Amino acid sequence: MIQLSRGSLAKKTGVNSETVRYYEKIGLMPDPPRTLAGHRSYDQLLINRLTFIRRCRELGFSIDETRELLELVDGEDYSCAEVLESTKAHLERIRNKIKDLKKIENTLKTISSRCSGEDVPVCPIVDILWQPPS
């Protein structure tokens, strides 16, 4: 039976130790048991829970979405369908974000290519950005 301190948990899961405290404050992680001296003590279940949270966050789920996923899993009768729905909605948002960034990429590429990059105080990039509003 493993028992980790907050710092060890942080190392093990790859989550910043202050962030652990933050997750407890906002209720993503439960208040953990304490040692006699008042130090937090985490078992395997809590380690796995924090890892789940870290993975959700790395996949771009917001804290609130992560909370909902956790509530589903915590609940007695969660269903695969609900999890899939949330995941697909999130996937759609990620795809939209990629689309937006590609538009930005194209614009930046275009205006960069118009710019000589010479050491002169005349810049097509600035010219483009500095036009009056359409």
Alpha-carbon Rg for the chain, nearest whole angstrom, is 23
Q: Which is nearer to DNA, 37 or 45 (CB)?
A: 37
**What does the per-residue mask of binding to its own copies show for 17-46, with x meaning CB under 8 A?**
---------------------------x--
Q: What angle do CA 43, 18, 12 make, to 5 degrees?
A: 40
Residues in contact with DNA, shown as a per-residue x/- string from 30 to 59 under the rule CB under 7 A:
----xxxxxxx----------------x--
How far is 78 from 75, CA to CA, in rounded Å? 6
Q: Does 8 bind DNA (CB under 7 A)?
A: yes
Of 39, 60, 66, 51, give the one whose Cα is nearest residue 12. Answer: 51
User: Which residue lies nearer to its own copies by CB, 31 or 131?
Assistant: 131
Toward DNA, which CB reaches closer, 19 or 87? 19
- Please, are residues 23 and 10 in contact by the beta-carbon 8 Å criterion? no
- Residue 31, number of CB atoms within 10 A of its CB: 9
Q: Which residues bind DNA (CB under 7 A)?
A: 5-8, 10, 16-19, 21-22, 34-40, 57, 62-64
